[in-house]
Amino acid sequence: MPEKPDDDPFHDCELGPSAVLGTRTFEDVLFTDDSETPVNVLTGETSAHSQATVEEATAFAASIDTDTPQIALPASVETQIETQSKPYTAAAFFHFKATGSLELHRAYHAAYDSDAYTADFEADYESGDLTITVDRADES
């Protein structure tokens, strides 16, 4: 254990590095061409603001001005209706909506921000799967 908490990138995390080391795939978490969109029950049509392609969604995510790579996640149907927004949203690749928990989100974030680890991801927008790989920097 490090002498000072500042030396441990996981000191604020509920999970340690062992929870995120290696490769893990989160299935069906990304925006895809098949992501759910609201349909008007009277006309059977999807409103213009809810129509989008994966290319549009990934371009939007890539355009976010941040040091952390972004992915395109599906927006809930409720959000699309209430805010008349697009059917996708951008988030950090380790966002809790993709990883399934705030604890994993924090652990992946700690690994990504640390020089002691490398964190890479692959977003497969055809299947909706996100694969995150974390290694110790001295092993990669």
pLDDT of residue 140: 57
pLDDT digits (tens, 9 = 90+) for 66-91: 999 999 999 888 888 888 888 899 99
Q: 68 lies in a domain?
A: yes
Range of the domain at 106: 28-136
Confidence (pLDDT) at 116: 94
Within a domain: 127: yes
Tens of pLDDT, residue by residue over 90-134, are: 999 999 999 999 999 999 999 999 999 999 999 999 999 999 999
Query: Is 4 a domain residue?
Result: no
Full DSSP string of 30-67:
S--TT------TTT----GGG---HHHHHHHHHHS-SS
Is 79 within the bounds of a domain? yes
Burial of 74 (0-12, 13-18, 19+ CB in 10 A): buried
- Express each pLDDT in 5-48 by its tens digit: 567 889 889 999 999 999 999 999 999 988 877 677 677 777 76
Supply the pLDDT for residue 24: 97
**132 - beta bridge partners?**
24, 121
pLDDT (0 to 100) of residue 91: 95
Token pair for 96 = 């809790």
Contact indicator for 16, 107 with CB cutoff of 8 Å:
yes
Number of domains, the chain:
1
pLDDT at 4: 52
Tell me whether residue 3 is in a domain. Answer: no
In a domain, 35, yes or no: yes
